[in-house]
Amino acid sequence: MSRRQVNPARQYADGGHARFSNPLHQKSRSSPFLAIGLVLVGALLLLGYSYSGSGGFGGDKALSKVEAQDALPEIGPSNNLIFLSLLLCLEAIVLGLEIMNEESREIDERDVARQLVFEEPQRFEAGKSDLCPPYLVGGDPDGGDFSCSSELQRAIPILRKAYGDSMRKVLHVGPDTCSVVSKLLKEEDTEAWGVEPFDAEDVDGNCKSLIRKGIVRVADIKFPLPYRAKSFNLVIVSDALEYLSPKYLNKTLPDLARVSIDGLVIFAGYPGKQRAKVAELSKFGKPAKLRSASWWIRYFIQSDLEENESASKKFEQTAEKRAYRPSCQIFHLNS
């Protein structure tokens, strides 16, 4: 096992939500701090006045006077002022504590709101609420489980037709790789490995066992994959490249090509039909950047990645014959 990704999900999740909730709370924030500031300034002014009144900062004379009186406090108007300013200071502190309290309550409320959002995504419907972050709007029209990793599992028989012997040694890269790898391993004459690019914390026993055997690895795909060149016939990626910026794509895609012999198959979500499950969002934190087919094709051309036309054609023909209509964009590239 090489590098474990240090849970990018959480970082992004918090960032995203902070941005989302800030406008709601800004109003209540500035004025109380202004109040504390004013009270403190008032207290300091009073303190300063009282000292200058009694010659507090005046040095020798005041000191000697105090010493002379055996450090007994002088009873007079300036002491009342000191008392008053101390009172004001105390009030400022109390005010500050109250605000801190309120802020922690706000954070609690935000947590509750977040849980609601993740547990009941169906409450938020397109256009219904301006408070809803854009990536929660939309959702799966069928209301079912959806991800390109599960789409890939449905597509295995068709991939098999299109790639034939090139399905002997397959590497899958993407979330839920344990279930994809398990499915591939059930195919005849297929060996499969997997790379889980995100956390593998709450996985089942079967997945733990695949990880223990080294069949599935948890690895950050922003770094070179822990495999030698040309280790697999086919590398299949799903739901993973959407989370990479072009800068990282420029490193990751050539590396995926490096470890494959016969090609690279990419399953990517369609833009507009944003279907990333909300549960998955909480796992990845950062919303997927769903790109159009023309974006991807332009990107592949720019990066000198060519389409495997024969594989594409065979895949399409088989899909048509079996009335299979993928809910993800599928690209077939040469290594």
Ligand X SMILES: *[C@@H]1O[C@H](CO)[C@@H](O)[C@H](O)[C@H]1NC(C)=O
Residues lying near ligand X in the complex (CB under 6 A) are found at: 162-163, 166, 246-247, 250, 262-263, 302-303, 308, 310-311, 314, 334-335
**CA torsion, points 230, 231, 233, 238, in degrees to nearest 10?**
-100
Nearest residue (CB) to ligand X, 237 versus 278: 237
We find the least distance from the C-beta atom of residue 236 to ligand X, in angstroms, to be 13
Output the smallest distance, CB 306 to ligand X, in A: 8
List phi, psi (to 5°) of 68. -60, -35
CB of 178 to ligand X, least distance (A): 26
- Could you tell me which residues are beta bridge partners of residue 331? 266
Taking the C-alpha atoms of residue 287 and residue 281, their distance in angstroms, rounded to an integer, is: 6
Nearer to ligand X, 162 or 207 (CB): 162
Residue in 245, 98, 264 with CA at minimum distance from that of residue 172: 264
Q: Vertex 328, ends 223 and 192: CA angle to 5°?
A: 50
Whichever of 42 and 224 has its CB closer to ligand X, that residue is 224
- By C-beta, is 118 or 324 nearer to ligand X? 324
- On whether the CB atoms of residues 264 and 333 are closer than 8 A, the answer is yes
Cβ distance to ligand X smaller for residue 153 or 318: 318
For the bound state, the minimum distance from the C-beta of residue 316 to ligand X, rounded and expressed in Å, comes to 12
Nearer to ligand X, 129 or 302 (CB): 302
The string of DSSP letters for 279-302 reads: HHHHHH-SPP----HHHHHHHHHH
Strand 329-333: give its sheet, edge to edge: 216-218, 191-196, 169-173, 232-238, 260-268, 329-333
Give min distance, CB of 259 to ligand X, in A.
13
CB of 147 to ligand X, least distance (A): 25
CB of 321 to ligand X, least distance (A): 16
Closest CB to ligand X among 118 and 223?
Answer: 223
Beta bridge partners of residue 268, listed in sequence order = 329
Residue 68 CA to residue 70 CA, distance in Å, equals 5
The DSSP 8-state label assigned to residue 74 in this structure reads P
d(CA 181, CA 201): 18
Nearer Cβ to ligand X (186/247) = 247
Q: Do 267 and 170 meet the contact criterion of CB atoms below 8 Å apart? A: no
DSSP state of 330: E
State the minimum distance, in angstroms, from the CB of residue 30 to ligand X. Answer: 38
